[in-house]
Amino acid sequence: MRDKCRVRKPFPTGADSPGTPSDRRWPVLAVLCTSLLLAGLDLTVLHVAVPSLSRELTPSGPTLLWIVDVYSLVVATFLIVCGALADKLGRKRIALSGFALFGLSSLAAAFAPNAELLIAARAVLGLGTALIMAATVAIIRNVFTDDRERAFAIGVWTASHSVGTTLGPLIGGVLVEHFRWGTVFLVNVPIVAVVLVAGVIVIPESYNPQPRPWDAPSVVVSVLGLAGFVYGLKQAASPGDLTPFAVIAGVAGLAMLVWFVLRQRRVRHPLMDLTLFRNRRFSVAVLAVFGCFGSYVAMLFLLMQWLQQTREFSPLDAGLAIVPLAVANALGATLAPAIADRLGHRATMTVALAAFGVALAFFALSSTGYPMLVAVLVVAGFGAGIIMTSGADSITAAVRPERAGEAAAIQETSFELSSGAGVAVLGSVLALVYQWRFSAPVSPDVAASARETIGNAERVAAGLPARDAGLVLSAAEHAYDDGIRVALGMAAVVLLVMAAVVAVLLRPPAWSKSRPGEPLPA
């Protein structure tokens, strides 16, 4: 009976009962958007809990960075792999497995007794998210048969991730203000339970009857290469923790990633189709989204720490302080299509990237009180919202309609990888500047311990006489403030360079200029 059912599937999407999936398309979209909202939420909800988490678990600087962004790096690493599994085993089955894994790992993270187990739980949480995200694009394309409705659905689905990312610090601030830091994960559990039940009822099963052959070497090399490279990068953030093993792992990881790219260009059925990057519009749009989203998530992470560590905001106040960023981001994402229709994608993205970069540069170079910070947040949020929406649209528009699914997969991978890379790189810059700039007239042992992280400085100061404690805390706050400004200044430079690249290289899609049947122009 199972074989007969498979024979009846006339389309690559392979809906089990033609006609039925589209009848429940809007409930399906609601379930999928809720799941992606949670995925975006978990990307940033921990940011506001870092100070209280650090006091309880006492992680080192590199370990703290692992806690924060191992989630997004695991999502980016496994997204394409999970997409191949979804095509082979069934999209509904993979999505429901992701929901279950997401809920169980959230429960484990909430009660993690140490930093190592929290990192492990966050990694499994990322794997659950990768399973969800990999299956949902194909599910949306299966249930939305009308082109206009499908474009709207994918837009809403993508926007829900940005909304969750921006709301994360606010929700985290409310929870940490009144409860233990682990509640930022517990909030996922009841929502996932409802989504899991609803998903069983409304999501239709679908397969790809001719899935790509499983390229096991590419899977292994991509996972090990990314893990090794990021491990070396993170250990470099703390010179005292930089061992020969970390250097070897980083170099070996980079070599594996290079080999992965070369292999994808050679094999007949690649895990990631890199020929899409031959399209200059596609490549530029991916690069712009990568730089923007990485800077945006890193900015959220750094500002949450800065407000609490050096401006003495409570977790709730820190979450409320970035509400202007959330509102501006949502407004920018909403208005982006209208602005792009009037000005064109190139002008829209160029101005938005430049505005985001100028806002961060202003923060880095000025003495910023909160009223001025609000202006910075509004400009940065509005610009980032425009780039994320307009950039995603440019990525899809840069390829022929039949390849939109592949483009969407690369787009989501760039979102997740950029968020992890942004926090890793700018967090490492912050750590290095903090250690370099920290200077207090106290004993060498006390100074060495306080120089590791600002959390260590607070713990050391608690056991010192009042005068020495004041010197340590003052030195730590000044060093941390310098580190934040240098890190966001570097992000500003990246964004301004991206604006120049987009202004010069972004062009209308080549396929839109070709007649049917004609090859793409070079």
Indicate the domain borders of the chain. 23-207, 216-270, 276-509
What pLDDT sits at residue 21? Answer: 53
| 125-169 pLDDT per residue, tens | 988 988 888 777 678 777 877 766 766 776 677 677 777 877 787
Q: Cα–Cα–Cα angle for 292, 432, 423, nearest 5°? A: 25
What single-letter DSSP state applies at residue 19?
T
In the Cβ-directed half-sphere of 203, how many Cα atoms lie within 13 Å? 32
This prediction's pTM: 0.73
Domains 23-207 and 276-509 share a fold: yes
pLDDT of residue 499: 92
Compute the distance between CA of residue 354 and CA of residue 352 in angstroms, rounded to an integer. 5
Distance from C-alpha of 155 to C-alpha of 83, rounded to nearest angstrom: 19
- Name the residue among 65, 69, 72, 98 with its Cα closest to residue 83: 98
The answer to whether 147 and 139 have CB atoms below 8 angstroms apart is no
Q: What are phi and psi of 59, to 5 degrees?
A: -75, 155
Residues in the chain, pLDDT under 70: 1-23, 61, 137, 147-148, 150-151, 154-155, 158, 207-214, 230, 233-242, 367-368, 396-409, 416, 420, 507-522
* Cα–Cα dist 112/46, whole Å: 14
pLDDT of residue 5: 43
Can you say whether residue 14 is alpha, beta or left, with left for phi > 0 and alpha for psi between -120 and 50 degrees? left
By three-state DSSP, how is residue 243 classified? coil
The pLDDT tens digits of the residues spanning 244-283 come to 887 888 889 889 988 988 888 888 777 777 777 887 888 8
Separation between Cα atoms, residue 501 and residue 490, nearest integer Å: 17
Give the Cα separation of 519 and 517 in Å (integer): 7
Quick one: tokens of 351? Answer: 């101005």
According to CATH, what is the number of the domain 276-509?
A: 1.20.1250.20
Fold of the CATH domain 23-207: Growth Hormone; Chain: A; (1.20.1250)
Which helix (H) or strand (E) covers residue 318, if one does?
helix 315-321
Measured over all CA atoms, what is the biggest interatomic distance in the chain, rounded to whole angstroms? Answer: 81
Q: What is the pLDDT of residue 373?
A: 84
* pLDDT of the residue at 9: 40
> What number of other Cβ atoms are within 10 A of residue 133's Cβ?
28
pLDDT in tens, 27-67: 888 888 888 888 878 777 777 777 788 878 878 767 777 78
Name which of 302, 236, 304, 292 is nearest 482 in CA terms.
302
